[in-house]
C-alpha cells in the first residue's frame, strides 16, 4: 500500500459442523442422550468471515520502532450459528453460540 502501510486481509470460510437430532431417554438408572438421526444427517451454516489489518511502522533512533495499527474483524458482519441445540424439545435448533459481531481495534506497538 502507499506511504509504507502494511495491509493484511484475511478471508476464512469454515465448513459447518455435521449434526443429527438427539433426544433424552429416561431410565431408572439415569438419563441418556440417544441419537434420533445419524450424526452426519444435517450440517450447520458455513460462515465466511473477512478480517483486515492496516499497520504503519516508524523507525526511531537506536534500532527502536513504533507502529500504529487498525484491525477490523468480521467486516461482513456474518452472524452464522457456530453451535446449536441438537436435542429434541422446545429449544431444538436454538443457537448456543454465534459468530461475534463486527469489531474495530486500534493501538500501537513499541519495539526496543
pLDDT tens for residues 39-93?
Answer: 999 999 899 999 999 999 999 999 999 999 999 999 999 888 889 999 999 999 9
C-alpha span between 17 and 95 (Å, rounded): 13
CA-based nearest residue to 55, from 107, 10, 104, 112: 107
Q: What pLDDT is attached to residue 74?
A: 96
Amino acid at each position: 500500500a502507499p506511504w509504507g502501510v502494511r495491509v493484511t486481509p484475511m478471508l476464512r470460510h469454515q465448513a459447518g459442523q455435521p449434526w443429527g437430532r438427539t433426544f433424552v431417554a429416561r431410565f431408572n438408572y439415569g438419563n441418556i442422550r440417544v441419537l434420533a438421526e445419524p450424526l452426519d444427517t444435517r450440517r450447520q451454516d458455513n460462515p465466511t468471515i473477512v478480517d483486515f489489518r492496516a499497520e504503519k511502522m516508524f523507525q526511531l533512533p537506536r534500532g527502536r520502532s513504533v507502529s500504529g495499527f487498525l484491525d477490523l474483524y468480521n467486516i461482513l458482519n456474518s452472524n452464522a450459528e457456530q453451535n446449536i441445540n441438537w436435542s429434541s424439545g422446545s429449544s431444538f435448533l436454538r443457537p448456543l453460540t454465534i459468530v461475534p459481531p463486527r469489531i474495530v481495534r486500534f493501538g500501537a506497538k513499541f519495539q526496543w
